[in-house]
Amino acid sequence: MQGDATPDGVSLLVIVRGREQHLRRLIDGANRAAPRPREIVVVHMGEADTEDLRSRIPIRQFRIEVPGTGTLPLARARNLAAHHAEGSRYVFLDVDCIPARDLFGILAEDSERLGGIAMAEPRYLRAPLPPGTPADDGALTRDSVPHAARAGLHASEGALPSERYEMFWTLGFAVDAADFGRIGGFDESFTGYGAEDTDFAFTARERGVPLGFSGATMFHQHHGSYRPPLNHFADIVANATVFHGKWGTWPMEGWLGAFTRLGLVDWSPSSSAIRVLRAPTAMETEAAAHAGAY
């Protein structure tokens, strides 16, 4: 998988909502990659196709409806992207991520060698990129930081089988189409933010699909966030409940613990259910706004 030739087997899959400029930078990054994917499949959640996308890689865009609640159907959108993909290996990238020039080659090779899922290594940009900034790996590396929780997960000799399935995130990963089918895709019982990625990984472990952490780099574009994510309070509570009912353990314990300390829920790691006491106020949510790299 060397040089500029497109690896016929790799489909790049992206889901998006309200991130047009981030999508354009992701596509620019994919086009400067060596090797490049054979196609880019974009699924828009409740919004129209993005116009005038410049790409040497063929792009196909699809749309999925968003329910009246506004909760994003993330799992369903990823499954739809996979349904329309023509490659034998999928690379899912979060729309906020810019692939390093060698990401597709390294990630696909690691996934093939593992015979399972290979997750890329994220680096987080400290600030938003100015308009028109070219996607240059050197500059992006200089202006970004690794995630502290992910330090040491990948080996220098390439992705190795790992038992750290709980550390899997959907930011960027490669998986063979057959293994994606073996896992059953993403469980669409999960809607909105949280836990659908951990559920996907736990199902992979249950069905014997290996997981490894690759040194392939993706650069996460900066955007505002919340600590704790009070903007996703209802989704997190709902998805944590679905996950616990399925696996008998709690995901996102850090966030649930933060909600407990704020007096929003009655919960502990030994609880059998989450009892919601109240929703966060607008003032509390605003106070949780976070401008750091991650």
Split at pLDDT 50, 70, 90, the class of 68 is confident
Give the DSSP letter string of 253-282: HHHHHHHHHTTSEE--TT-SS-EE--PPPH
Question: 235 and 133, same structural domain?
Answer: no
State which of 164, 197, 223 marks the end of a domain. Answer: 223
Question: 236 and 163, same structural domain?
Answer: no
Q: With contact defined as beta carbons under 8 Å apart, do 19 and 25 qualify?
A: no
Q: How far apart are the first and last CA of the chain?
A: 32
**What is the total count of domains within the chain?**
2
Name the amino acid, one letter, at 197.
D
What's the pLDDT at 8?
64
Say if 1 falls within a structural domain.
no
Average pLDDT over residues 237-258: 98
Q: With contact defined as beta carbons under 8 Å apart, do 239 and 196 qualify?
A: yes
The CATH number that applies at residue 30 is: 3.90.550.10
Question: 234 and 216, same structural domain?
Answer: no
Question: 268 and 141, same structural domain?
Answer: no
For 102-143, write each residue's pLDDT tens digit: 999 999 999 999 999 999 999 999 999 988 777 799 999 999
Question: 233 and 175, same structural domain?
Answer: no
Name the amino acid, one letter, at 9.
G
State which of 223, 255, 278 marks the end of a domain. Answer: 223
Say if 5 falls within a structural domain.
no
If DSSP codes are grouped into helix, strand and coil, which group holds residue 213? strand
State which of 223, 242, 257 marks the end of a domain. Answer: 223
Question: 195 and 239, same structural domain?
Answer: no
Say if 162 falls within a structural domain.
yes
DSSP category for residue 161 = B
Say if 79 falls within a structural domain.
yes
Least confident piece of the model among 52-61, 67-76, 197-206: 67-76
What's the pLDDT at 3?
45
Question: 174 and 250, same structural domain?
Answer: no
Report which of 196, 165, 199 is spatially closest to residue 73, judged by C-alpha positions.
196
Strands 289-290 and 39-45: unpaired
Split at pLDDT 50, 70, 90, the class of 1 is very low
Question: 195 and 50, same structural domain?
Answer: yes
Question: 248 and 156, same structural domain?
Answer: no
Question: 116 and 210, same structural domain?
Answer: yes
How many residues are present in the chain? 294
Report the distance separating Cα 127 and Cα 72, nearest Å. Answer: 26
What's the pLDDT at 156?
74
What's the pLDDT at 36?
97
What's the pLDDT at 162?
95
Question: 195 and 140, same structural domain?
Answer: yes
Say if 210 falls within a structural domain.
yes
Q: What domain range is 90 assigned to?
A: 10-223
CB atoms inside a 10 Å sphere around CB 156: 5
Report the distance separating Cα 83 and Cα 177, nearest Å. Answer: 10
Question: 236 and 209, same structural domain?
Answer: no
Burial of 194 (0-12, 13-18, 19+ CB in 10 A): buried
